[in-house]
């Protein structure tokens, strides 16, 4: 792999963005503090990125954050949408993949593992 | 509890990110018969007077302690196999953790999934510049997210194609400096 390969990736990604006409639709945030990592957050983050990548989801952004103060609920995954924020707790790899497919893609939050759901008013 | 060295690295990176580091350097070096693992950052550093305590596993059990479990566990792992772990830190300047482990020691934890651990953490930390350096006695391989970002502009590192590039590059680097193991 060479750094020059990235130029082609950039051109393709920018063309996709123009086609889509805007920024990401969904942001997924994984808690990667020490308690999250000890509870399996790295596998969760990897599963989410793998699912996003395999499904070629170009309008989903994935980031990580530190401790959220909910150690007992780790690993924690947040799904940010324009009108709501959903916080999932005790997420394992299988649940992480379901969050991507059922929630990020189809817009239907899981019924299990939800710690909190907040409406966002703009 | 600690299955592999990748988990130790993830733990150290979590400490660096929590210390609000903006630059993090990760080094994995084969030096003669040793493996040297290093994580250095420009984060908040460890407060004066606390450096002596951070390797004490009981210290981290205090509620809301700002030190992660990464350090005492890594010290324990390194010492159990006849290696060592050093921590240097300056408040406001950053922290450097370096552990030396004998490569061939039968009880050395396996490397584990370094690519699957490092790449997601690097990609999902926008605003943090990572430098990864892998080397052996003959060759040095480097990856810098600054150089990657210069070429991809506003495309996020978590973009599927960029992610694939990072994974393949890191795997290639590991192969070149003898960091592949059959265990």
Digit-by-digit pLDDT tens for chain B (183 residues) are 567 899 889 889 988 988 899 999 999 999 999 999 999 999 999 887 777 777 766 664 334 444 456 788 899 899 999 999 999 999 999 999 999 999 999 999 999 989 988 988 898 888 899 999 999 999 999 999 999 999 999 888 888 788 889 999 999 999 999 998 765
CA distance A112 to chain B (A): 25
Chain-chain contact of A34 with B69 (C-beta, under 8 angstroms): yes
CA distance B172 to chain A (A): 8
Tokens of residue B55, six digits: 């390797």
Q: Shortest CA distance to A30 belongs to which of A82, A84, A109, A100?
A: A100
Tokens of residue B99, six digits: 């552990």
A56: left (phi over 0), alpha (psi -120 to 50) or beta: left
| Nearest neighbour of B124 by CB, restricted to A6, A45, A53 | A45
| Nearest neighbour of B163 by CB, restricted to A30, A49, A63 | A49
CB–CB of B101/B37 below 8 Å? yes
Residues of A in contact with B15 (CB under 8 A): 34
Strand order in the sheet with A77-81: A60-65, A26-31, A77-81, A84-88, A114-119
CB–CB of B40/B147 below 8 Å? no
pLDDT value for B63: 44
Residues of A in contact with B126 (CB under 8 A): 63
A10 and chain B in contact, CB less than 8 A: yes
CA distance A74 to chain B (A): 14
Residues of A in contact with B169 (CB under 8 A): 1
| Whole-number CA gyration radius for chain B | 16
Chain-chain contact of B124 with A52 (C-beta, under 8 angstroms): no
For the full predicted model, state whether its pTM sits above 0.75.
yes
CB–CB of A63/A27 below 8 Å? yes
Rounded (10°) CA dihedral B150, B156, B158, B160: -90
A12 and chain B in contact, CB less than 8 A: yes
pLDDT of residue A39 exceeding 80: no
Residues of B in contact with A25 (CB under 8 A): none
Q: Which of A31-40, A96-105, B161-170 bottoms out in mean pLDDT, i.e. has the lowest?
A: A31-40
Chain-chain contact of A66 with B17 (C-beta, under 8 angstroms): yes
């Amino acid at each position: 792999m060479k750094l020059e390969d990235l130029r082609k990736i950039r051109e393709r990604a920018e063309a996709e963005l123009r086609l889509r006409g805007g920024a990401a639709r969904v942001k997924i945030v994984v808690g990667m503090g020490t308690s999250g990592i000890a509870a399996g957050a790295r596998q969760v983050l990897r599963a989410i990125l793998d699912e996003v990548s395999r499904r070629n989801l170009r309008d989903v952004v994935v980031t990580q954050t530190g401790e959220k103060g909910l150690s007992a609920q780790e690993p924690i995954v947040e799904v940010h949408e324009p009108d709501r924020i959903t916080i999932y707790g005790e997420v394992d790899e299988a649940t992480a993949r379901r969050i991507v497919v059922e929630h990020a893609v189809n817009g239907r939050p899981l019924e299990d593992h939800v710690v909190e759901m907040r409406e966002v008013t703009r | 509890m600690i299955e592999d060295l990748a988990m130790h690295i993830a733990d150290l990176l979590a400490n660096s990110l929590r210390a609000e580091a903006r630059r993090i350097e990760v080094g994995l070096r084969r030096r003669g018969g040793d493996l040297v693992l290093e994580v250095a950052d420009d984060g908040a550093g460890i407060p004066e007077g606390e450096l002596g305590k951070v390797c004490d596993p009981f210290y981290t059990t205090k509620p809301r302690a700002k030190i992660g479990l990464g350090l005492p566990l890594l010290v324990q792992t390194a010492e159990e196999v006849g290696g060592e772990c050093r921590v240097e830190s300056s408040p406001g300047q950053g922290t450097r953790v370096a552990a030396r482990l004998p490569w061939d020691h039968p009880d050395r934890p396996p490397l584990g999934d370094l690519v699957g651990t490092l790449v997601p953490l690097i990609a999902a930390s926008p605003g943090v510049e990572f430098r990864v350096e892998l080397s052996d006695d003959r060759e040095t391989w480097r990856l810098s997210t600054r150089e990657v970002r210069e070429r991809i502009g506003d495309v996020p590192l978590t973009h599927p194609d960029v992610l694939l590039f990072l994974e393949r590059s890191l795997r290639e680097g590991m192969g070149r400096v003898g960091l592949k193991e059959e265990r």
